[in-house]
């Protein structure tokens, strides 16, 4: 058994650090994935929505008579049908309630008015066309500042007289909450007395996660045994089961929720949508399974947008650039209902990470949530609860301050970074950063792109431009971000009262292979590959011998799901902890088999060896068999364990991103010449998958920064509801990325991993945006809002007088 | 609505069923024939998740009526495995180079790449990016998809050389 070396044995496990190929890909590449729309049950019906063409209107009548005569249509549900069941409204994740179907009025274009149930999707679409709805138009407000004016139309008549909301006092009929963090008086004093103070409005526009697969579900109520099976594109299947039980009254043990393969989530599939409720009701009413799958327009108009934060910032510094204070007031546009997906105590998510990577002694943040006539949502689009907004805000404010100080923005960051020795670091807005070495990452990044050389080239380009030799400018976009992920400690993070722990259950089979089940659900992250790698390293069973399952609430342990980069920090930790429970028992079995004391054996890659006598050992395969075959005194048979892991803190991945961008002043077109992404996500489980996550997240960031938006006109018409108008980059536009890393393990995570999925979206948006701003800095540009599409860049140049 | 008799040569086999003429090819494949490799991402021809090969051309099957495809030769991702059932070169290279994450765009992407490499057997990276630009991916940023297609081209070409 000792014929191969320790290194070979380690390599054979394909554990931590191995760029193991993904086990999921065998079926995905052959068209054998099983996504929601692939699910077919005998007799299944199809549901589709009648949606409002108006952004704000009274619904004075819904006539379903003609629709019911359409061949194939079986039922049409309206709010009146849901009322007796008390399902015409549903709770949101943010402490608000939301109409399932229009109850007397509509608050955004695309709102669900009626649900047509038919034999197939064509008949359902025909039925939708035949439903007659009468509307009486009401004044529309799509601007959150106008929504707070005294004479603004009342949007939420259901709660117009309240003085107390889910998050404290309410001061206006369209005001949802005010959330304050930090020391207001101390911050304002610092601002008043500062050598230098820079002030700017930073807008992070409304956009949408837009996974390639839209949201959908199949509800199947078995009236004989009283059990409901709900398949769906759920990023949090267990939480959905609890929510369905609470709002429907069906006992939780009679509900089985299954998330099959999910075609991308990015936050879009966290919330609860009208389609789920209506499908369940329709299945109960018709006694048949009912499928509902959005089309792309439904998806972009009605399910979970992201961002839409107006962030007014003030930043104070000494003459030589040491930041002394940060102030931020955010106006948050939540649309017609507050359906944000944030932990309960954080109505603006983790926006209070907005001091970023910098040692800022005093800070103050306030956020006003506002209703407008737009779609509800406010989800974290590849983001941990508003950290993308926070990172964009601080990375813009740093650039604005650098302009005010007439200083190089790389140097300004360098002198303000939290020092390596300051960790664990208490931020002015209440977080304890676990670990980091920002200076090392920053210097590595600047060297890698030859920052000095780039600046020289830029200066030459500027001269050439001024001399009329070129019409292209060069922008250098810098960003250093600090993420806050892995929500989170149960003591301060819950969703609808459910603590944000996560879980893993491992069973070792007699022949030494294993199955593990987790409370999370992969949407492309490759959990079946990477979580098996954690187990492989922990217990010495090859990753190829470990099956991984998620997403079936009847078999998987309870967990809060996958979003906010929480799978590795929380469920990954649970995986390591469950493995360690297995190992504690395995050690006793090994000692028994080797006839020595428990403490006289030690673990070595894939076996327990007797200390000082390495020729005496038992492999994990032998130990697994013994667990099922031997009567060991004092030990139960079997070898399995479960861990519910409540993390002691968040993790704080960070990174340094640099973008060099060519900008054509006359056309507004851009070309990304170079994009360098350094990520520090702590211990690296699978470098191949990390690189893939960075490529994908940076591309989503590229889209957001350079063209992607959810836009409305003043009438509340949705202007970007197809992929013709909503920018998703193709292979042609997408830049090439150079990835790099440093490794600063998390001190509190069992394997030191921090999570990486969202970092590239958090870091790349400011890098791209700062490159645009940097190109025009010599001409006086201080702030210009995203997205930086060709027209908007052309407009910057035009406004700066560069087209004469 | 009355139904018509539709015949296809699908992945080398004759198949037939009844469908309304307005039925989109993607729905005919997925609902009538249970061929669920091609996916629906937009229903407006933008995303390419539904890409199939029809009569030697890449088409987006969400914008082809089944009446237009009657009698056609259609290949989907299910038809791109080797004759012995093992994954085909493109399928293998997508896995080898991590050219997929959630897998939703993958069948359309691979089916497009299959046709593209016949149109352009020795592509440059730029040609791959242009030739694949009708297929959207939200996960990978395309970098590894480009790598996978380039690697597949190399393999196919070296196999051809070995034969000749």
Final residue before a domain boundary, out of A601, A619, A645: A645
Domain that holds residue A530: 6-33+502-645
Query: Same domain for B119 and B60?
Result: no
Residue (of A643, A390, A677, A373) closest to A506 by Cα position:
A643
Answer yes or no: are the C-beta atoms of A402 and A412 closer than 8 Å: yes
Final residue before a domain boundary, out of A627, A645, A663: A645
Say if the Cβ atoms of B81 and A30 lie within 8 Å. yes
Residue A21 reports pLDDT greater than 80: yes
Query: Same domain for B123 and B155?
Result: yes
Share of chain B above pLDDT 70, in %: 100
Res A2: pLDDT: 54
Report the C-alpha gap between A330 and A647 in whole angstroms: 29
Query: Same domain for B15 and B75?
Result: yes
Distances (CA, A) of A788 to A108, A668, A772: 26, 9, 8
Q: Per-residue pLDDT tens for A375-396?
A: 999 999 999 999 999 999 999 9
Question: Is A156 domain-assigned?
Answer: no
Report the C-alpha gap between A35 and A17 in whole angstroms: 30
Answer yes or no: are the C-beta atoms of A158 and A101 closer than 8 Å: no
Q: Is A758 an active-site residue?
A: yes
Q: Which of residues 38-77 of A touch B (CB under 8 A)?
A: 38, 40, 71
- Give phi and psi for B115, each to the nearest 5: -75, -40
Query: Same domain for A550 and A587?
Result: yes
Distances (CA, A) of A181 to A93, A425, A601: 21, 17, 52
Query: Same domain for B26 and B71?
Result: yes
Query: Same domain for A667 and A529?
Result: no
Collect all residues with Cβ–Cβ distance below 8 Å to A269 and sequence separation of at least 6.
A211, A215, A233, A234, A235, A262, A523
Say if the Cβ atoms of A211 and B138 lie within 8 Å. yes
Res B20: pLDDT: 95
Collect all residues with Cβ–Cβ distance below 8 Å to A708 and sequence separation of at least 6.
A207, A208, A726, A727, A728, A787
Question: Is A158 domain-assigned?
Answer: no
Answer yes or no: are the C-beta atoms of A601 and A585 closer than 8 Å: no
Distances (CA, A) of A753 to A500, A566, A653, A744, B33: 18, 11, 9, 9, 45
Query: Same domain for B75 and B85?
Result: no
Query: Same domain for A288 and A357?
Result: no
Say if the Cβ atoms of A213 and B143 lie within 8 Å. no
Q: Per-residue pLDDT tens for A757-778?
A: 999 999 999 999 999 999 999 9
Res A488: pLDDT: 83
Question: Is A116 domain-assigned?
Answer: yes
> How many other C-beta atoms lie within 10 A of the C-beta of residue A504?
32
Nearest Cβ partner for A29 among B40, B94, B134: B94
Collect all residues with Cβ–Cβ distance below 8 Å to A667 and sequence separation of at least 6.
A790, A794
**Residue B136 sits at the chain A interface (C-beta within 8 Å):** yes
**Residue A264 sits at the chain B interface (C-beta within 8 Å):** yes
Query: What is the radius of gyration, based on Cα positions, of chain A?
Result: 28
The residue to which tokens 């940060």 are assigned: A326
Share of chain A above pLDDT 90, in %: 98
Report the C-alpha gap between A80 and A248 in whole angstroms: 16
Answer yes or no: are the C-beta atoms of A2 and A615 closer than 8 Å: yes
Region of residue B142 (left: phi > 0; alpha: psi -120 to 50; beta: else): left
Query: Same domain for B57 and B97?
Result: no
Final residue before a domain boundary, out of B79, B94, B121: B79
Q: What is the CATH number of the domain that holds B134?
A: 1.10.150.120
Mean pLDDT of chain B: 97
Q: What is the CATH number of the domain that holds B26?
A: 3.10.20.30
Q: Prior bond to A424 cis, omega within 30?
A: yes
Question: Is A189 domain-assigned?
Answer: no
Res A199: pLDDT: 98
Look at chain A and report how many structural domains it folds into. Answer: 3
Q: What is the CATH number of the domain that holds A556?
A: 3.30.365.10
Query: Same domain for B59 and B114?
Result: no
Question: Is A432 domain-assigned?
Answer: yes
Give the SS3 label for residue A595.
coil
Final residue before a domain boundary, out of B53, B79, B105: B79
Answer yes or no: are the C-beta atoms of A50 and A116 closer than 8 Å: yes
Q: Which residue has the higher pLDDT, B111 or A565?
A: B111
Query: Same domain for A703 and A635?
Result: no
Final residue before a domain boundary, out of A622, A645, A668: A645
Question: Is A27 domain-assigned?
Answer: yes
Helix H segments across A437-507?
A: 438-448, 451-466
Beta bridge partners of B8: B15
Say if the Cβ atoms of A700 and B143 lie within 8 Å. no
3-state percent helix, strand, coil for chain A, nearest multiple of 5:
30, 25, 40
Angle in degrees, 0-180, between the axes of helices A687-706 and A759-776, rounded to the nearest 10: 40
Q: Prior bond to A338 cis, omega within 30?
A: no
Structure tokens at A345: 């105590």
Query: Same domain for B56 and B74?
Result: yes
User: Which positions in chain A touch B103 (Cβ < 8 Å)?
Assistant: 24-25, 27-29, 33, 261, 263, 524
* A431-435, A497-501, B136-140, range with the lowest pLDDT: A497-501
Answer yes or no: are the C-beta atoms of A257 and A553 closer than 8 Å: yes
Q: How far is B126 from chain A (nearest CA, A)?
A: 8
Structure tokens at A4: 């191969």
Question: Is A187 domain-assigned?
Answer: no
Of A215, A354, A383, A681, the catalytic one is A383
User: Which positions in chain A touch B37 (Cβ < 8 Å)?
Assistant: 30-32
Query: Same domain for B26 and B36?
Result: yes
**Residue A707 sits at the chain B interface (C-beta within 8 Å):** no
**Residue A295 sits at the chain B interface (C-beta within 8 Å):** yes
Write out the H or E segment, with its range, that includes residue A680.
Answer: strand A670-680
Sheet holding A738-741, edge to edge: A472-482, A654-664, A670-680, A738-741
Q: Per-residue pLDDT tens for A84-109?
A: 999 999 999 999 999 999 999 999 99
Query: Same domain for A768 and A785?
Result: yes
Final residue before a domain boundary, out of B37, B52, B79: B79
Burial (CB < 10 A; 0-12, 13-18, 19+), residue A166, is middle
Q: Is A235 an active-site residue?
A: yes
Res B1: pLDDT: 73
What average pLDDT does the segment B113-132 reach? 98
Answer yes or no: are the C-beta atoms of B62 and B24 closer than 8 Å: yes
Report the C-alpha gap between A793 and A772 in whole angstroms: 8
Q: Is A121 an active-site residue?
A: no
Query: Same domain for B90 and B42?
Result: no
Give the SS3 label for residue A51.
strand
Say if the Cβ atoms of B95 and A22 lie within 8 Å. yes
Answer yes or no: are the C-beta atoms of A557 and A644 closer than 8 Å: yes
Query: Same domain for B68 and B88?
Result: no
Domain that holds residue B47: 4-79
> How many other C-beta atoms lie within 10 A of the C-beta of residue A119?
16
Look at chain B and report how many structural domains it folds into. Answer: 2
What average pLDDT does the segment A654-660 reach? 98
Query: Same domain for B73 and B84?
Result: no
- Give phi and psi for A354, each to the nearest 5: -75, 0
Res B161: pLDDT: 87
The residue to which tokens 């149109």 are assigned: B119
Residue A1 reports pLDDT greater than 60: no
Question: Is A134 domain-assigned?
Answer: yes
Q: Per-residue pLDDT tens for A237-247?
A: 999 999 999 98
Q: Is A383 an active-site residue?
A: yes
Answer yes or no: are the C-beta atoms of B73 and B55 closer than 8 Å: yes
């Amino acid at each position: 058994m000792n014929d191969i070396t320790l290194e070979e044995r380690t390599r054979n496990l394909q554990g931590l650090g191995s760029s193991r190929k993904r086990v999921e890909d065998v079926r995905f590449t052959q068209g054998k994935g099983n996504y929601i729309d692939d699910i077919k049950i005998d007799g299944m019906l199809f549901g589709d929505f009648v949606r409002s063409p108006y952004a704000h209107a009274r619904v004075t009548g819904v006539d379903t008579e003609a629709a019911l005569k359409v061949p194939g249509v079986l039922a049409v549900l309206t709010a009146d049908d849901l009322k007796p069941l008390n399902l015409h409204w549903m709770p949101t994740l943010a402490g608000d309630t939301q109409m399932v179907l229009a109850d007397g009025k509509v608050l955004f274009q695309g709102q669900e008015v009626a649900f047509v149930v038919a034999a197939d999707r064509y008949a359902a679409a025909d039925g939708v066309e035949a439903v007659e709805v009468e509307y009486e138009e009401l004044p529309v407000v799509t601007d959150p500042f106008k929504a707070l004016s005294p004479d603004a139309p009342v949007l939420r008549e259901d709660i117009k007289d309240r003085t107390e909301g889910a998050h404290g006092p309410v001061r206006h009929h369209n005001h949802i909450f005010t959330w304050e963090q930090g020391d207001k008086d101390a911050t304002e004093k610092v601002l008043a007395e500062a050598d230098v103070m820079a002030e700017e409005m930073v807008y992070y526009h409304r956009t949408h996660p837009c996974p390639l697969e839209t949201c959908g579900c199949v509800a199947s109520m078995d009236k004989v045994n009283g059990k409901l099976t709900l398949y769906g594109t759920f990023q949090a299947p267990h939480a959905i089961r609890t929510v369905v039980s609470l709002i429907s009254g069906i006992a939780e043990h009679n509900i089985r929720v299954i998330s099959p393969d999910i075609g991308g989530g990015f936050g879009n599939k966290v919330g609860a949508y009208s389609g789920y409720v209506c499908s369940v009701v329709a299945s109960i009413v018709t006694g048949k399974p009912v499928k509902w799958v959005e089309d792309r327009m439904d998806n972009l108009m009605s399910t979970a947008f992201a961002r839409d934060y107006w962030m007014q910032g003030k930043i104070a510094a000494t003459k030589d650039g040491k930041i002394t204070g940060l102030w931020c007031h955010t106006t948050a546009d939540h649309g017609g209902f507050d359906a944000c997906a944030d932990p309960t105590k954080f109505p603006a998510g983790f926006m209070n990470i907005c001091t970023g990577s910098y040692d800022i002694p005093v800070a103050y943040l306030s956020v006003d949530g506002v209703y407008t006539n737009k779609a509800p949502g406010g989800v974290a689009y590849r983001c941990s609860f508003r950290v993308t907004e926070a990172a964009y805000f601080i990375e813009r404010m740093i650039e604005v301050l650098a302009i005010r100080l007439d200083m190089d923005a790389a140097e300004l960051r360098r002198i303000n970074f939290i020092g390596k020795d300051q960790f664990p670091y208490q931020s002015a807005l209440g977080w304890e950063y676990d670990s980091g070495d920002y200076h090392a990452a920053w210097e590595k990044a600047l060297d890698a792109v030859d920052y000095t050389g780039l600046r020289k080239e830029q200066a030459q380009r500027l001269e050439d431009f001024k001399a009329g030799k070129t019409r292209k400018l060069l922008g250098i976009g810098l960003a250093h971000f600090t993420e806050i992920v892995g929500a989170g400690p149960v003591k301060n993070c819950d969703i609808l009262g459910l603590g944000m722990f996560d879980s893993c259950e491992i069973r070792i089979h007699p022949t030494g292979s294993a199955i593990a089940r987790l409370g999370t659900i992969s949407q492309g992250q490759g959990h079946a590959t990477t979580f098996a790698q954690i187990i492989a390293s922990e217990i010495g069973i090859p990753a190829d011998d470990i099956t991984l399952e998620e997403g079936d609430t009847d078999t998987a342990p309870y967990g809060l799901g996958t979003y906010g980069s929480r799978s590795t920090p929380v469920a990954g930790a649970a995986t390591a902890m469950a493995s360690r429970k297995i190992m504690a028992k395995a050690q006793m079995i090994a000692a028994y088999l080797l006839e020595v004391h428990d403490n006289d054996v030690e673990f070595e890659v894939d076996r327990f060896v007797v200390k000082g006598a390495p020729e005496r050992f038992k492999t994990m395969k032998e130990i697994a068999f013994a667990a099922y075959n031997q009567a060991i005194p004092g030990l139960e048979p079997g070898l399995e364990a479960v861990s519910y892991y409540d993390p002691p803190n968040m993790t704080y991945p960070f990174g340094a991103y640099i973008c060099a961008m060519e900008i054509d002043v006359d056309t507004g077109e851009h070309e990304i010449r170079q994009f360098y992404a350094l990520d520090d996500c702590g211990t690296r489980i699978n470098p191949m998958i990390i690189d893939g996550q960075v490529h994908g997240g940076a591309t989503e960031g590229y889209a957001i920064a350079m063209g992607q938006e959810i836009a409305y006109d003043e009438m509340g018409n949705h202007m970007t509801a197809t992929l013709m108008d909503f920018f998703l980059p193709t292979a042609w536009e997408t830049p090439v990325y150079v990835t790099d890393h440093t490794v600063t393990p998390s001190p509190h995570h069992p394997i030191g991993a921090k999570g990486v999925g969202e970092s590239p979206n958090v870091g790349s948006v400011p890098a791209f945006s700062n490159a645009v701003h940097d190109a025009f800095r010599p001409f006086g540009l201080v702030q210009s809002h995203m997205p930086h599409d060709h027209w908007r860049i052309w407009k910057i140049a035009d406004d700066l007088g560069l087209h004469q | 609505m009355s139904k018509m008799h539709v015949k296809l040569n699908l992945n080398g086999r004759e198949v037939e069923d009844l469908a309304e003429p307005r039925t989109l090819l993607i729905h005919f494949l997925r609902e009538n024939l249970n061929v669920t490799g091609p996916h629906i991402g937009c229903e407006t021809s933008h995303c390419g998740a539904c890409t199939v090969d029809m009569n030697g051309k890449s088409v987006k099957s969400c914008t082809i009526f089944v009446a237009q495809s009657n009698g056609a030769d259609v290949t989907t991702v299910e038809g791109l495995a080797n004759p012995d059932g093992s994954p085909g070169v493109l399928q293998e290279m997508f896995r080898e180079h991590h050219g997929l994450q959630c897998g939703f765009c993958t069948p359309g992407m691979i089916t497009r790449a299959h046709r593209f490499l016949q149109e352009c057997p020795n592509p440059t990276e730029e040609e791959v990016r242009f030739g694949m630009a009708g297929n959207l991916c939200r996960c990978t940023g395309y970098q590894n998809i480009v790598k996978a297609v380039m690697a597949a081209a190399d393999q196919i070409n070296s196999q051809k050389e070995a034969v000749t």
